[in-house]
Structure formats: C-alpha cells, structure tokens
Structure 1
Amino acid sequence: MDLKPLRREQLNFENGLHAQRLLPWANLNAPFEGSWCVIAPGTASTAHAHHEYEIFIALAGEAWLESEGQRQPFRAGDIVHFTPGTPHAVVNEGTEPFEMYSVWWDLAMAECFMTRHTLRSGG
C-alpha cells in the first residue's frame, strides 16, 4: 500500500480554487493526473478549456457547472466529463465549501504510462 494523504491545510490556490495534486507520484504509474479541489463559498473556478480530457467527481456540497452556455447543478455523487477544448467552470453560490476531485488525461500521458509500464515489467 502506498498512501498519499490529502493535506487540507496546505492547499494551493490555482485556477480560482484551492487544490492539491494527488497524482502522479513517484511510485504510481497512471495514465492520468488528478487533483483534490475546494471551491470556497461565493467563488468560482476560473473558466478555462484545455487539451486534455477531464472528469470532475463531486464529493461534498453543491455547486453549478457552467459550460458552453449551459448551467447545471452539481452535487455530491455527480460526475461530469469534458472533452478537449470544452470551456468549463464550477460556481459555488452556497454557504459551504464545495469539494470535488478532478482527473485529466491525454495521449502523451497514456504513452508515458505504457513506456513506464514496459520498463517496470521488464518487457
């Protein structure tokens, strides 16, 4: 077992939210990266788009997802997928923090995963 703890007291402010990258780490070979994210009450993540595929998994609280002119509620237990180039933002209009996990991947990450896997497995 190789546990990487969440350090809530050490979250970094980036993209309009507080986050800790939990993936990757040295002993883990994964074809994706991920981050724990907290959006404070009355704030929003920075609207952005990027070249990776991405999913958000809502863990605690309630927020709104805004993407391509749509606005939908986003609550604990929900999951959303964004394709590359899709602009998106998470808006927390509530009084409690909204917590989610973000996972993203692209072809380069998958190729690096395969290379590391081949080297580690000796074949």
Structure 2
Amino acid sequence: MTRPRRIAYRSPERHDSGMVIEEAAPAAQDERWPFKTARFEVPPGRTSELDVHDVAELWMVRTGTGTVASGSTRLDVGPGEMVYFAGRVPHQITNTGTEPLRLFSVWWTSTGPAA
C-alpha cells in the first residue's frame, strides 16, 4: 500500500454475551498487512467470552471502565489505557461501569518470546 486509504469495518458480529465486534475489512490488495484490527463493545455489567489464540494482541480502551482477567491476573482499565496479551494467553474483560465499554484491538503473529 503506497497511499492512505479509508478502511471500512465488516458487519457487526453479535455474541451471546452482548459483545459486538466489527473487524476491519481491508481491500484485497491490502490483505498482506502484518496485523488485523477490530473495534468491540461490551455492555454494562457483561463479560466478553474467554478468548485464547496463537496471536499476540493489544487492547486499547476508548470509553468506559472494566476489569481484564487473564489467568490469575486482574487489571482495572479505563479510557486511554492499553493491555497486551502474548499468544496463547486466555483473556476476557468485564464492563464494570454504567456505559458501554468500547475497545480497539490489534493482533498479529507473535514471533518473539511470551512476555
């Protein structure tokens, strides 16, 4: 890709937890990106599905507050904060606030050591 392009989101994917995910949908010629992205939302009082995968992932909190659970670790997060997960690390988030918890996610194949 040699010039900036607008990237659309795919149709929203709704989960039983109430979470809604929209993955970025790059044009076919851009499919070789070294990462993928999505935005997602968790309603107040709800918890996302437990997620575990081979790729590394970074969550960036846009709005709302929540608690990230990963193994025995619990982290309270709010707007502007980020959380990193190495590949194969189970993780999920609970919305602890009264407004929708909105996050942006970036994931990529991890070739380095788990951190």
Q: TM-score range by the shorter chain?
A: 0.7 to 0.9
Q: 1:63 Cα shift?
A: 0.8
**Contact 2:7 2:26 survives alignment (8 Å):** no
What TM-score comes out, normalization by structure 2 length? 0.80
Q: CA deviation at 1:54?
A: 0.6
2:60 paired with 1:62: no
**Partner residue, 1:11:** 12
After TM superposition, give the deviation of residue 23 of structure 1 in Å. 4.6
Contact between 1:23 and 1:35, CA under 8 Å: does it hold in 2?
Answer: no
What's the CA shift for 1:12? Answer: 1.5
Structure 1 position 73, deviation (Å): 0.7
Q: Which runs of 5+ in 1 are unaligned?
A: 108-123
Q: Does the 8 A contact of 2:61 with 2:78 survive in 1?
A: yes
Partner of 1:20: 22
In 2: Cα distance, 1:51 partner to 1:93 partner = 28
Aligned residues: 106
Pair 1:46 & 2:88 matched? no
Q: Deviations over 1:21-67 (max 9, x none)?
A: 01543243420011110011111111121100111011111111111
Q: CA deviation at 1:93?
A: 2.3
Aligned partner of 2:105 in structure 1 is 102
* Aligned match of 1:112: none
Higher helix fraction (1 or 2): 1
Percent identical across equivalent pairs? 26
CA distance in 2, matches of 1:88, 1:15: 17
The one-letter code sitting in structure 2 at the alignment partner of 1:3 is: R
Structure with bigger gyration radius: 1
Runs of 4 or more consecutive aligned structure 1 residues displaced over 4 Å after TM superposition? none
Of 13-22 and 38-47, the range deviating more from structure 2 = 13-22
Q: What is the TM-score of this pair, normalised by structure 1?
A: 0.75
Q: Does 1:90 align with 2:93?
A: yes
List per-residue Cα deviations over 1:2-26 (Å, max 9, x = no partner): 213458xx52114842011015432
Q: Is 1:24–1:34's contact at 8 Å kept on the other side of the alignment?
A: no
Q: What runs of 5+ residues in structure 2 fail to find an aligned partner?
A: 111-115
